[in-house]
Amino acid sequence: MSVAMTEDTAPTSGPPTGPPTGSHHVSRRTRWQRFRALPRALRVTSYVAVGLVLLLVLGLVTGVVLVRRPLPQTSGTIEVPGLEGTVEVVRDEHGIPQVYADTMEDLMRGQGYVQAQERFFEMDVRRHATAGRLAEMFGEDALETDLYVRTMGWRRVAERELALIEPDTRAALESYADGVNAYLSGHSPAEIALEYTILNAGGLDYVPEDWTAVDSLAWLKAMAWDLRGNMGEEIDRVLTTEAVGADRTAELYPAYAAADQAPIVDQGAVVDGVFEQDATTGGTRNPRRTAFTADQVAPLASLREGLERLPSWLGRGDGIGSNSWVVDGDHTSTGEPMLANDPHLGIGLPGVWMQMGLHCREISAACPIDVAGFTFSGVPGVIIGHNADIAWGFTNLGPDVTDLYVERVTGDTWRHDGRDRPLTVRTETVEIAGADDVELTIRATAHGPILSDVDDQLAEVGEVAPLSRPTPAEGEEYAVSLAWTALTPAPTADAILGLNAATDWDSFRAAAADFAVPAQNLVYADTDGHIGYQAPGSIPIRKSGNDGLLPSAGWRSENDWTGDYVPFDGLPTVLDPDEGFIVAANQAVIAADDYPYFLTDDWDRGFRSQRIRELLEEEGELSMTEMAELQLDDRNPLAPTLVPYLLDVELRRGYNDDGQRRLDDWDAGQPADSAAAAYYNVTWRNLLELTFHDELPEDVWPDGGQRWMAVVERLLTEPNSPWWDDVATETEVETRDDVIRAALVAARNEMTLLIAPYPDDWTWGALHTLDLRSSTLGESGIGAVERLFNRGGWEVGGGSATVDATAWDAAEGYRVTAAPSMRMIVSLSDLDDSRWINLTGVSGHPFSEHYTDQTDLWAAGETLPWVFSREDVLAAEADTLLLVPPEG
């Protein structure tokens, strides 16, 4: 504990504990988090400053013209080369487009054209990010990101995937690219995006390249990286172990409480390699063979033993998760299923999703798409949504699909099973705007690329990882490589269009079978009244020496992956479960004791999923309104346990009246206007700092999310645990109540400093603000430019590990770091009665009325009508644009 525990400071003065909110100090923890967020966090240096200033001092009329030039034409007629027939684009008052065409080729061309109209700069930045070419646009500040991505070879993998996908998928990708390029060919950079005007004013002299099918495929690597599994946790475990030892590290990684948090699927077993939802025991019905070989069973047993020794980190960090649930007709007011989904992702501008409808005018085998939902700009088709027959939602399954290996490297060789094997080596040139090119040498073992060559923290992990190692030979070094399923080519793009065209459970599962990375929980409902769940994804089977929790010794073959994946037919699945609903919110998919394959031990703790289950059971029969209200539930899961301890500590007058009494009758809800929620969360952050900062390195300070809630929940029952003691006070041994008292006092002082001296003026929203920033020019460091692209100041409720998951990082401050990126509720009884909302808006243009026009509604917990039938789409029409083939 780094702050003295005293009540001497007056409640109306004094600094808060911990780093100031909004501090610009960049720790190594923060730098690593930026790597984890690839490719979201991109920065621009001041090499464009002169051009930016010149641009900003232009006359008012010129300025208005410049910022409005990129806004798309949304009515009238545009000739588009390559079209076979007319494509109709109907937009509603929020700019959400519904695209109609006669052929799949024209439909995909239309989608490409419209997404380029609204968001091409975002598309261009993402393709540069996934190719390791950001420095070409943004200079030396982007070089480190490029080196990282080049080393992993995202684009090289995407190029190989192009040969694996189905001909129809490739045709869709090519047609989509044609639509994008038709838009580019008719517009100058200044007409495409304001960002190009500013960058070129700074001397970049940039013209966008044509879009390609590989650009779309590479985008999926970015999402796979964002949801990749426990690579960060492996590193954090090493750093924590180095600081406090293995036994105390284990205390900070509590095991999943399977008895308290129900898994997604609570019935079924694997029989002869196939998951059967009605089976009560696994194994085989054929005595002449076994379901698994001996070397497949051994790693599963080893992993369970490893769990007992080193319990897992539960989750990847709050915010990077999602909620979804589906209920059958027996549990709804309409008598038909309803499905809800809200993925939790990092925040920024433009938001990750663009709402859109894609409709073949006549459904046929040649043109089977009639779908609407949330799309990725740059990828054809709808990612999450519904068609005329089925609806589906995603949450991150979170399997352990990454492993770090500590390698013994000498020159151009690496050690494996007592032999020196040649490294795979290639050299690439990285171009940098405003600077000389950089030559990058990329090395790889059979496990994967050596990331420590470009990441100094990983190099340190290689030195301190708790492995039994031989004495290094002369010239030998330790390096760290990455094994990751996304670096193996797979036809995930087939799954997207397959889901769009699916008409029933069987065709839905057939499409899901192609969904390799990132592995997702898929919830399902259809107009015939069925609900279901399917777990897809490429999940590796490990050999006996590798438990996936810590970096493994790469020189031992028993730590390798087998080369096989968990078979799709063996992954958990259920159709029409007995209890009539399914909840998938990143909790364990299935009880580990009942399942023979290892998925991960790093599940989310299950606070959100269990709360959703409880509310579904309480309601019994849900309306659309009640489904929407459930998405906004803001009950803090730890507060009912922690608050009695906070109230039990005696404080002197002024502290107990102003702070503690606010918690007396608090219901643990965290709306934006709650004073009690504000005081509780500030106390929580101080409690974490006082308990853990004195012993843990800054890189692994508590973020305050669901894992830390589980840790503290246990520690509260151990008032004399060494964690409560401040190692800096040599003559004192602090206890739980000492820390709680100090946290309450520090929180009262901090509330005075950050909000007001009077509790009646406190609100959670005053601290817990949503600020949306552009990841490129919005991070330029030039205030006038940042104001062009960034929006902020929304005061919101919710918090980490609540259903309304507006996460914040206790090591950094109270501002929102991740949030529901969208919310949707689908009514299978009447698709036109469905609801949706986006965190931002359809447009990527900062001066469009649709840049953040949905954010106010989102922050207020409201949703928009989600019309689907042509009749209702036309009734909601605000603009109609016709894309037509050129005359002659």
Question: What is the spatial distance between Cα 377 and Cα 248, in angstroms, rounded to a whole number?
Answer: 45
Q: Is 260 annotated as a binding residue?
A: no
Length of the chain: 888
Question: What is the spatial distance between Cα 618 and Cα 302, in angstroms, rounded to a whole number?
Answer: 40
* CA distance from start to end of the chain: 77
Give pairs for 242-250: CB < 8 Å, separation 24+: 242/464, 242/466, 242/697, 243/695, 243/696, 243/697, 243/700, 244/695, 244/696, 246/309, 246/310, 246/466, 248/722, 249/310, 250/309, 250/310, 250/311
Q: Which two tokens stand for residue 187?
A: 């517009």
Q: Is 403 annotated as a binding residue?
A: yes
CA 471 to chain CA centroid, Å, is 41
Q: Is 400 annotated as a binding residue?
A: yes
Look up residue 621 and give its DSSP letter.
S
Determine the 3-state secondary structure of 54 from DSSP: helix
Question: What is the spatial distance between Cα 11 and Cα 744, in angstroms, rounded to a whole number?
Answer: 11
Give pairs for 222-225: CB < 8 Å, separation 24+: 222/38, 222/39, 222/126, 222/129, 222/130, 222/154, 223/376, 223/518, 224/486, 224/517, 224/518, 225/38, 225/39, 225/154, 225/486
Q: Are 866 and 854 in contact (CB under 8 A)?
A: no
Question: What is the spatial distance between Cα 737 and Cα 717, in angstroms, rounded to a whole number?
Answer: 11
Determine the 3-state secondary structure of 176 from DSSP: helix
Query: Which of the residues 322, 481, 775, 821 is marked catalytic?
Result: 322
For the chain, state the CA radius of gyration.
Answer: 27
What is the amino acid identity at position 209? E
Q: Are 393 and 403 in contact (CB under 8 A)?
A: no
Q: For strand 402-410 and strand 552-553, is the pairing parallel, antiparallel, or unpaired?
A: parallel
Q: What burial class does residue 446 get, using C-beta atoms within 10 Å of its C-beta: 0-12 exposed, 13-18 middle, 19+ buried?
A: middle
Catalytic site includes residue 322: yes
Closest of 119, 832, 836 to residue 527, by C-alpha: 832
What is the amino acid identity at position 697? P
Closest of 745, 646, 759, 728 to residue 686, by C-alpha: 745
Annotated binding site for Ca(2+): 234, 400, 403
Residues forming the active site: 322
Annotated binding site: 234, 400, 403
